[in-house]
Structure formats: C-alpha cells, structure tokens
Amino acid sequence: MIDRIPSGFHPFVLPFLAGMIFVLSYCVYGIIKILVQLPGEDRRRFYLSLVTPKTVLKNIRDIFCDCLFHVKLWKRNRLLGYMHSSIAFGWFMLIVLGHVEVILFLPHRIRLFYYPIFFNYFVAETDSTIQGSLLFFLMDFFLLVVLSGIVLAMVKRVRSRLFGMRRTARPSLTNQIGLYCLWAIFPLRLLAESFTAHISGGSFLTVPANWVFRQFLGNDLNMLPTWWAYSIVLGVFMVVLPFSRYMHIPAEMMLIPMRNAGLKIRNARKGFARVQVYSCPNCGVCIDACPMSVNKANIKDCTVYLTRQLRRGNERRITEISDKCLLCGKCQAVCQVGVDGPGIRILNRAERNYALKPDYSSIDGTAIGRASAGGRVAYYGGCMTQLVPSIGRSVTSLLEKAGIDYRWIDRDGGICCGRPMWTAGRLKEAEEIVRKNEELIRATGAVTLVVSCPICYRMFRESYHLPDIEVVHYVPYIQALIAEGKLQVEHDDICYAYHDPCELGRGCQLYEEPRQLLSQVVRLSEAEKNRAESVCCGGSLGSLSLSFAQRENMTRAALENLYHSKADAIATACPLCQATFSRYADRPVRDIAEIVDLHAKANKQNKQAI
Amino acid sequence: MMDFGFKLSKSATIDLDRAGTERYEKLCALSPDARTCMACGSCSATCTAASFSGMSVRKVILGLQRGQDVRPLLSACMLCGKCTLVCPRGINTRRLILNLSKSYD
C-alpha cells in the first residue's frame, strides 16, 4: 500500500474539514458552557465520577449499549433496534477501521485527520495481503450494514408502523436537511470507493461495483465528482448537526456520564437540563406513549416537542406544554435516552413568579400530631384517600384484623403531603408543607408510617427526612402481615386486571409487590400495556391546564387498555386512579386494600391480643 | 359589661355598588370557568386548608365578586386538588388559584 498523492492533500477534503472543525469547536464550546452552568457541587461530583473506576466502566458500558447498540430500542422493536444500531455501530466501525488502516499502512499520515475518512482515495494497492484483504472486507461489510440501516430508515419514513411506531415526530427544516444528508453519505461513500477500487483495492461490494462503472465510465477523472460529493455531504451534515436532532450524538455522550455521576436537574434551562434537551433524538417514541396523544390536539404537547421548543426558546409554547403534562413519567420510561420530561416541566413551572405566597406558619404540626399520638403504627391516608373513603376503611380494617396498634393520623383532616404543590412548580412552598408534615408525623411518636396513596408515598420517599420512621406503602406492609401469619387470606376465582398507578410504578418502582399480593386473593390478568408502560388514568394532578373534557378521552383509552385483559374487574392501588376510572368504567374498579379486605380474616391469636 | 349571651356584631352589609370587582374580572379573563361556579360548596366540604384559614374556593369566588380581600383565605391553600376533583361544574380550581396568586402584584 503506497501513498498515491505525494502531498497527502486534495481540495475535495475541504468541505469535510470545515464541517468537522465547526462541529468540534461547537461541541467544545457547548461542553465548557454546560460545565460552567452546573452548580459548583454538581461540577465537583461530575469530575470526581470521571476518575472513579467503577463509574468510568459504567459510562463506557452505557455509551456502548445505549449509543452504539441501542439495546433499549432492540427490546422495544427488533427492526427499530437494528435500524439504529446498524447505522450507529456500523458508522463507528467504519471510523475505527479507517484509523486502523492508516496506522497499519501509512502511519506517518495519522496526523491528518481526514485520512481515515478518505483513505481509499489517497492510496494505491501494490500487493495484497491477508491482513489487507481482511480490512477491506470488514470495511465493505460495515458499509453494507450501514446501508441496510439507511434503507430501513427510508422505509420507516413511509411505514413507521412496521417499526412499532404509530406516530413519529414531524421533522423540522434542519432535521430534514440533516436526515437527507445522512441518507446520502453512505451511498455516496460506496460510489466514491467503487470508482477508486481498481487503484486502491476493495472487497466484495466495491470491486464488483467498480467493474460495472468502468464498463461505461472508464476515465479515472470520473472518480473526483463522487469524492467531492461525499465530502460536501459530510460537511453539510456536520454544519447542520448542532442545529438539528443529530446533536443528540455528542450530547448523549455527555448525558450518560452526568447521569451516572448522579446529577439532578436543578435549573430548567441550564446545565444538566440543557444536556437532556440536546440529547433528545426526536425519535417520537414518546408520542405514542403519551396518554395525551389520544387527543389529536395534544400530540404536540409531548416531550419531543417540549425539547424542540426549549431549543428554539419559544416561551409561549414552553409554558403551554409544561403546564399541560400529566407528569405520568411514561415518556421517560420509554425514552431510550432517558430524557427527564416531567422533571424539566416541573422546573419550567417553577420559573414562574407568584405574587401571592401562602403562609403556613399558623399551622401547628406538632399539636395535630400529638392529638393522634399513641400507636406504634401511624396510618396516613392523604387527601385523595379522604375522597375515596372505602380505601381508608379497608386499610384500617386490615390493620385491625391483624391486631396492629395503629392511629389514623389524618382521619379528620391533616396536612397535604406537598406533592401537588411540588408538581405545580412551587418548590419552596412544597418544602414548607413537607416541614410541617414532618413535625406532625414525628409528634405522633410512631415508628412505622403506612401510606395508602402513591402520590404521598412518592413524596415521602423523595422529599421527607424522617430518619427514625419507616415509611411503607400498604401493599408491602400487608404482604408482610400475611407472611407473618397475622392475616389469613382466602383465594377467589374473580379475575382482576391490575392497573399500575404512575406514582407507584414508574414513581416508586413497585411493580411486582401489588401483583403478588393480588394473586394471593384473586386471579390476575395483565393489561395490554403494563408495568413501566402502564397508561395514566388521566386524572393526574400533575396537569395544570387540562380540562375534565380533555381528560375523558384519556381515561377511556386507559380503560380500553385494561379491558384488553378481559378481566371481570379492575384493581388499582391509587385513590385518584380509582376515582377517575369509576367515572367511566363499565366494570367495578377496586383498590387492592378493598379486595384483600374482602378475602382476609383475622388470625385467632390476634383476636385474643385485642 | 354584662354578658347577655349575645352581642352586637359588626355590620355585614356589602355595598355591591361600591365593591370593586376588577380582580374578579381579571381572574375570569384568565380562568373563564370561574364564572360557572354555582356556589354548591363541595369544595368547602373537602378543603384541606379550611381548618387552617377558612379556605374554600366557593368563598374565594364569592369574596372576589363582593370585592373583598381573599388573601387571608388563600394563605393556607396547599393546592392538593380535592376541590378540583369534587367540583360538579368541572372548574379547574387549582389553575384558578394559581392564576389568582399570580394576579396579586
């Protein structure tokens, strides 16, 4: 293998060089800007994680699995997974092998960073070795892999349903330019390499193509236009990259280490939030997932459009999209990048200023708490349980049957857990409510706090500081009571479909416990979409602007998903879900506590104890 | 003074000719559903903050229509959303309260 062009340069590399220099400097500028925007504590934490071997290994693994192999997409749909990983991994391998070729054959040229990209133009094959043929074979093989991915991408544009996607995001202008450039890059590379294959050598793809082209385009001068075209398209792609969805390629490599470092979004527009926004690949998986998308008018309120508007700085739409969301968290659960749509929305809500601030100083948490002191176990129903009293009755009935010494600390009204205030973006006010409630709960003197509302439970887990008190949702608590033999349950043949409440499932990762508990007393069948992909009931307090009329379609769609299981009744573990479903359901909707209570009886020993 | 078991209370007359309803109109512009309130009192019955500041959306709307200062009522609102869920008119009360809180500047 020898250098065909002694100077090692040809003007056609210039468009590529310009594009590459532009995109690299843009990325360096972006990284510095984001690091500066991070709060000092987060920055230190991030740097520390970059020198911690365990995190570094995790970063490398995640970057390979998520960015190159797209493991999450494979799990969603094989065709979709193959399409993305073939383009990403194939392109990555072409770049890596290009460098290997230069290092092996022309080590003195490695400083010219366009060489690995345009290697075939600059070399002439003098002899053929196994090593060389293997490299050429691999180059052609990975080019074929990428091309197959490109063909699939073209098919997906017209038939996205084949890839398991009903709707895809509408591409913006820059996204379209980027897309067409990406589609053109690899066919042009094949053409360019084919035109030079009789000089530089090639393999199973480029050599036969070269033979065909030389039948009618015999002149060697014909090779230049294709190399120019290849370089120009690469250059254009690099220039539009920062302004299109393809920015997700560099941004995701920043997002993964930041997430592994344990950073949280602290500002709606800066630092980590910015990385998340740029990491959104605009694939539109969140559109089908979003419960709001059953209303055609709400399709543009999904996370993919939020990130787009955040990049454009369209304040009117940002406010609108942020306020409308139910915060069910499904977009984050299905997102292969893991963009925290709900988190970004809450912080965008928090940007607003409210002239009238609430004042909770008159609330005496300790006094309220003392009034219900005495039990080792405190039961906190929460506001929503008060609206669905049957849940409170069932939970307390179960506690009584098990002979537990408990107090219902908010039977006659208490303090809200603070989560509704938090999701409305009024974080300081929510903190104040939390502090009051902490006082209240400490004053009860209980060691265990049983909660029956997942909304409260999530807030207790995430924002409360109650070091000596164990906070449990009633599902694991009742499970433990049954396991200890304090409660005896009978099995019935009624079939229930279990609806995973957003806050309990995606919010607190309790998926299996409710199912285990339910299957001890009844037959269980699964909804079409369940666990992390369960459909929000539409009643969520997360949305600030959705009206009842708009929510109705969402509730009906969530019910259809549950009817799919052909169950006799619906079980859930959230008072809000139950209240919402009961409005439109054609079959009974019951809380797990009610179902278990119907099938539970007290152990004789417990009765004696009471 | 002798305790007769009753006393003269302050006049509760509201002069609707003099009551300023600008704030109510301002609120209705932001949350038009405020006008559909029929003062049924479902929100009063469920309000978490009622025991702390006498809050209820019904009272807030009524107070605004009478040109009264409703800020003391709102001060203990925790935005828990029970009033939204029980409202038979489907008023988005949480949005109403947020809009009202924003309007005091």
Domain locations in chain A as residue ranges? 2-250, 251-350, 365-473, 482-601
Q: Distance between CA atoms of A446 and A435, rounded to whole angstroms?
A: 17
Half-sphere exposure at residue A72, Cβ-oriented, CA atoms within 13 angstroms: 13
Establish if B99 touches chain A: CB-CB under 8 angstroms. Answer: no
Tell me what ipTM this predicted complex has: 0.90
**B97: closest chain A residue by CA:** A356
Give me the mean pLDDT over the A89-109 stretch: 94
Sorting pLDDT into bands at 50, 70 and 90, what band is B20? confident
How far apart are alpha carbons B78 and B74 in whole angstroms? 9
What gap in Å lies between CA A389 and CA B42, rounded to an integer?
A: 16
Q: Which of B52, B81, B101 is facing A420, going by the closest CB pair? A: B81
Maximum pairwise Cα distance, chain A? 102
A176: helix, strand or coil: helix
The size of chain B, in residues, is: 105
Residue numbers in B near A410 (CB within 8 A): none
At residue A572's C-alpha, the angle toward residues A334 and A344, to 5°, is 35
Instruction: Give the pair of three-digit tokens for residue A44.
Output: 């230190």
The structure tokens 């019910």 sit at A559
**Each residue of B37-94: pLDDT tens digit?**
999 999 999 999 999 999 999 999 999 999 999 999 999 999 999 999 999 999 999 9
Check B102 against A354: CB less than 8 A apart.
yes
**What pLDDT was estimated at residue A605?**
65
**Helices A592-599 and A474-483, axial angle in degrees (round to 10):** 20
The Cα–Cα gap between B92 and B84 comes to 6
Instruction: Please give the CATH topology (third level) of the domain spanning A251-350.
Output: Fumarate Reductase Iron-sulfur Protein; Chain B, domain 2 (1.10.1060)
Q: Taking Cα atoms as reference points, which of A239, A237, A235 lies closest to residue A17?
A: A235
The DSSP result for A109-125, as a single string, is: GTTSTTTTTSHHHHEE-
Partner residues linked to A90 by β-bridges = none
What number of other Cβ atoms are within 10 A of residue A549's Cβ? 9
Q: Is it the case that residue A529 has pLDDT exceeding 80?
A: yes
A356–B104: do the CB atoms touch at under 8 Å? yes
Query: What is the pLDDT averaged over residues A182-196?
Result: 95
Query: For residues A255 and A101, what is the distance between their CA atoms, to the nearest angstrom?
Result: 31
Contacts of B71 in chain A (CB under 8 A): 356
Tokens in use for B50? 């009622």
Question: Are B65 and B92 within 8 A, CB to CB?
Answer: no
- Using only C-alpha atoms, what is the Rg of chain A? 30
Does B103 sit within 8 Å of A355, measured CB to CB?
Answer: yes
Residues of B in contact with A359 (CB under 8 A): 75-76
Residue A534: DSSP 8-state? P
Residue A168 has pLDDT above 80, yes or no: yes
Compute φ and ψ for A501, nearest 5 degrees: -65, 145
Q: Which long-range contacts (CB under 8 A, 24 or more apart) does B8-15 make?
A: B14/B66, B14/B67, B14/B68
Residue of B nearest to A546 (CA): B92
Q: Give chain A's contact residues with B (Cβ, < 8 Å).
A: 352-360, 362-363, 383-384, 386-387, 413-416, 418, 420-421, 424, 426, 433, 539, 541, 544-549, 576, 579
A116, A367, A450, A451 from A373: Cα distances, Å: 74, 10, 15, 16
> Which 66-95 residues of chain B touch chain A by CB within 8 A?
71, 74-82, 84-86, 90, 92, 94-95
Q: Output the pLDDT for position A2.
A: 85
Cβ within 8 Å of residue A105, ≥6 positions away: A1, A123, A132
Is A363 in Cβ contact with B76 (below 8 Å)? yes
Among candidates A402, A289, A295, A366, which has minimal Cα distance to A335?
Answer: A289
Alpha-carbon distance of A473 to A486, in angstroms, equals 18
Q: How confident is the model at residue A92 (pLDDT cuts 50, 70, 90)?
A: very high
**What are the distances in angstroms from CA A487 to CA A266, A403, A513?**
45, 9, 17
pLDDT at B10: 79
Banded model confidence at residue A610, pLDDT cuts 50, 70, 90: very low
Q: How far apart are CA A520 and CA B10, in angstroms?
A: 63
What backbone phi and psi angles, to 5 degrees, belong to A498? -95, 130
| Contact B65/A at CB under 8 A | no
CATH class of segment(s) A365-473 = alpha beta
Q: How far is A541 from chain B (nearest CA, A)?
A: 7
C-beta atoms surrounding A365 within 10 Å: 20
What is the bridge-based pairing of β-strands A123-124 and A2-3? Answer: antiparallel
Q: Is the dihedral of CA A501, A505, A508, A510 positive or negative?
A: positive
Q: What residues in B contact A353, CB-CB < 8 Å?
A: 102
Angle, CA A292 vertex, CA A289 and CA A296 arms, to 5°? 105
| Residue A5: per-residue pLDDT | 87
Q: Which residues of chain B neighbour A414 with C-beta distances below 8 Å?
A: 48
How does residue A242 score in pLDDT terms, banded at 50, 70 and 90? very high
- Distance (Å, rounded) from C-alpha A579 to C-alpha A536? 13
Strands (E), A111-213: 123-124
A354/B48 Cβ within 8 A: no
- Taking CB atoms and an 8 Å limit, are A383 and B94 in contact across chains? no
Alpha-carbon gap: A361 to the closest alpha carbon of chain B (Å): 9
pLDDT digit string, tens, across residues A272-314 = 999 999 999 999 999 999 999 999 999 999 999 999 999 999 9
Q: How far is CA A101 from CA A108, A123, A132, A428, in A?
A: 12, 11, 8, 59
Does residue A17 contact residue A244 with C-beta atoms inside 8 Å?
no
Q: Which CATH number fits domain A482-601: 2.60.40, 1.10.3470, 1.10.10, 3.40.50?
A: 3.40.50
Contact criterion met (CB < 8 Å) for A355 and B53: no
Answer whether A227's CB lies under 8 Å from A186's CB.
no
Q: What is the pLDDT of residues A462-512, one digit of tens each?
A: 999 999 999 999 999 999 999 999 999 999 999 999 999 999 999 999 999
**8 Å CB contact of A548 and B52:** no
Interchain proximity B81–A358, CB inside 8 Å: no
Q: Decide which of 1.10.1060.10, 2.40.30.20, 3.30.70.1150, 3.40.50.12780 is the CATH code for B22-103.
A: 1.10.1060.10
Q: List, in sequence order, every residue forming a beta bridge with A406; answer none if it has no partner.
A: A377
pLDDT > 70: what percent of chain A? 99
Topology match between the domains A251-350 and A482-601: no
Q: How far is CA B61 from the centre of its chain?
A: 4
Tokens 């002798």 found at:
B2
pLDDT at B1 exceeding the cut of 70 = no
The answer to whether the beta carbons of residues A432 and A471 sit under 8 Å apart is: no
- State both tokens at A394: 């069932």
Length of chain A: 610
Q: Tell me whether residues B94 and A579 touch, CB distance under 8 A.
A: no
